Amino acid sequence: MNILIIDAQGGGIGRQLVAAVRETIPGAEITAVGTNSLAASAMRKAGADHAATGENAVIVACRRADVIVGPIGIVIADALYGEITPAMAAAVGQSAARRILIPFNHCDNLVVGVPDLSVGALLQETTEILRRLAAEEAASSPT
């Protein structure tokens, strides 16, 4: 399973996601793309197999991913303090990959009907969804 994790700013959420996925699904191939070099570096240090930076890296990685994970802002142009370009948001939205969008209520984007959970709880739920997807993929793969 090729998991693409996209993050911006300092890469703190992406770093935590990479570490959690690495622990939960050891066989996953993790590609980390930061909208800036600081975010990409943080995710690479956390154990991502591949790391890249910038708009084109997001666009290319979205074509190859089975699952895309990141804050909900990755599908909203100009989100995350302007670090998500319209092309990045379109690439995520148009990808054939499944998307796991983490509902952070910041950067003027408020998600109605979602409880205000801690970052830890959101990441735990994210890794549980990824674990289920990996199990489904393993069950459907011919051996």
- C-alpha–C-alpha distance, residues 63 and 52, integer Å: 14
* The dihedral sign for the CA sequence 93, 82, 18, 52: positive
> What is the domain partition of the chain in residue ranges?
2-140
Average pLDDT score over residue span 67-73: 95
Q: Which secondary-structure segment (H or E) carries 55?
A: helix 55-64
Are 79 and 73 in contact by the 8 Å Cβ rule? The answer is yes
> Which DSSP letter does residue 107 get?
T
- C-alpha–C-alpha distance, residues 75 and 92, integer Å: 6
Could you tell me the pLDDT band of residue 109, with boundaries at 50, 70 and 90? Answer: confident
Q: What string of DSSP letters covers 16-51?
A: HHHHHHHHH-TT-EEEEEESSHHHHHHHHHTT-SEE
| pLDDT confidence of residue 107 | 63
- C-alpha–C-alpha distance, residues 118 and 24, integer Å: 19
Could you tell me the pLDDT band of residue 114, with boundaries at 50, 70 and 90? Answer: confident
| pLDDT confidence of residue 139 | 87
| pLDDT confidence of residue 141 | 76
Average pLDDT score over residue span 42-63: 97
Q: What percent of the chain has pLDDT over 70?
A: 97
pLDDT digits (tens, 9 = 90+) for 116-142: 788 888 889 999 999 999 988 888 877
> Which DSSP letter does residue 67 get?
E
Percentages helix, strand, coil for the chain, rounded to the nearest 5?
50, 20, 30
Does the structure show a pLDDT above 70 at 42?
yes
Q: What percent of the chain has pLDDT over 90?
A: 69
| pLDDT confidence of residue 129 | 92
Average pLDDT score over residue span 53-60: 98
Residues whose CB falls within 8 Å of the CB of residue 116, separated by 6 or more in sequence, listed in order: 105
CATH class name, domain 2-140: alpha beta
